[in-house]
Structure 1
Amino acid sequence: MDSQLKIGFIGAGNMAFGIAKGILSGNVLPANVKVSAPSSRNLGRFQELGIAVTHSNIEVVCGSDVVFVAVKPHLVPLVLKEVTQHVTDRHMIVSVAAGVTLATLEELLPENSVAIRLMPNLPCLVQEGALLFARGSHAKQEDSALLRSLLHRCGLVEEGPEAWIDIHTGLSGSGVAFGAGRLLRDSGKHPAQLRSEVCTPGGTTIYGLHTLEQGGVRASTMSAVESATERARELGRKSTAGSRK
C-alpha cells in the first residue's frame, strides 16, 4: 500500500473513529487523513489523533483517494449529490451506511465510479472488529486488496456478496451490542454508555434491543438479529426512495 495514500471521512461518528484508529495503527500517517462533519461536536477526538478536520465534504473528497462515507443512511443521497461532481476515476468511495445498496451508490455517483459497501462494527475501536465488504460493478480485485490493506488492523476483514451485508449488519454490526466483552473490559466505560454508542436512534441495533426486551434471552437473541437485519433492509429501501427525489 502507498504510504502517501490520502484517506477521507465524511462523517465523524463512532464507526468513522474506529476505522480511523485502525488505519492509523497501520502505515497511514495522520497527516494523510482528513475528516468532515457539519458541527465540531465529534471532531475533537480526531484532532487528538493528529487528523485534520473540516466542515467541507467537498474539501475531503478533493483531497482524498479513498473516501469513507460514514453518515446516517438517509443522509447518503444528500452527501453524494453534494460531492459527486468532484469524484473522479482515482477515487474509491466506501459507504458504511446501513442498508444503502451498491445500486443506490452507483446511481448517485458518476458513471464507472468505484464504489464499495462496507459494514464494520464498534469493536474496531479496539482492533477486534468484524468487517464485511462487497464490491460495486466497477471495483476491481486490486481495489479489494487496497481496502483489506487499509482495514486489516481494525479486525477480521472479509469480502462477500452484497446479499450478506444486511445479515452481517444484524449479526455483527448490531450484534456486538448484545454482548461485547473485550470492548467493555478495555474501554472502562459503563455498559449503558457502550450501548448508547452503538445504538443509532431509529437504527438497526435499537430495533434488535427492543426485541430482546420483549422476551426470553435465547429466543429473543435470534429474533433480535432478524429484527436488526430487517431494519437494515428497510433503511436501504428508504435511502433508495430518497435518492430518487
Structure 2
Amino acid sequence: MISTDFVSRTESLPGIGNSPEFMNAAFEQREKSPPDQVQLPQGVVVYEVTAIKPPATPTFEEIRSRVETEFKNERVAALLSQKTKELSDRAKAEHDLKKAAKEVGATVKTTDFVLPDGQVPDLGNLSGPAAVIFSMKPGEISGPIENGNIGAVLSLLEKQEPSAQDFAAKKDQIRDSLLQGKQQELFGLFVQNLREQMQKSGKIKINEDEMKSLSRSQAPEEG
C-alpha cells in the first residue's frame, strides 16, 4: 500500500507514473468515500481519497520542491526511454536479447504462456503496449516498450495457437489489443526519433552529468 501527500492532476505517482486516467478518477472522488478502483495498463489500482485540499497559491518552497521533483521525473523518464531503446537496438543487432540485457545490466525475466487479456508481473496488463508480443513471431525482438515507470523489451520464445473455438470467442478482443499495442509502439518510436532529431539540431540539450548520475539507479526490464 502506498500513501501520498496532496497531489495535483498533473503529478506523477509512485508505482503508477503519469496517468491522466487515474488522476481523473481520483479527482472525481469525494473526500473519505469508500475505496474505489480503476483499470490501468499495468493492472487494477485500488485507491481511497482521505482528504481534499482546496486550491491555494503555493509558497515559494512548495513551488521549488515541485519543480525539482518534476524536473527529476522528466529526466528519469527520458533516461528510461533512452536505455530501453538502446537495449532494443542492441538486442536486434546481436539477435540475442539475453546477451544484450546482460551487457547493459537489465533484468531478464521469462513467463509461461499468457493470453491477450492476461497480466505479466512488473509489466502489467498485456492489453496495453505489451500487446505487440501477440503479433510477433518466435525469435523476434520488440521495440522499446514503456508502461508507466517500467521499460521493457520483449522476445517471443514460443507461440501456442489457440483452438478455433477459443479464437472465435476472443477474436474481437485480440484484434483490439493488437491494434492498441501497435499504435502505442509506433507513437513511442515517433517520440524517440523526434527527440533525437531535436538533439542533433541543437533545439534541446541533455545534461550528460545528470543523466549519468540517474543511470546508476535505472535499468530496463527484459522479458
TM-score scaled by structure 1?
0.26
TM-score scaled by structure 2?
0.28
The one of the two structures with greater contact order (alpha-carbon pairs below 8 A, sep at least 6) is 2
Greater C-alpha Rg: 2
More helix by share: 1
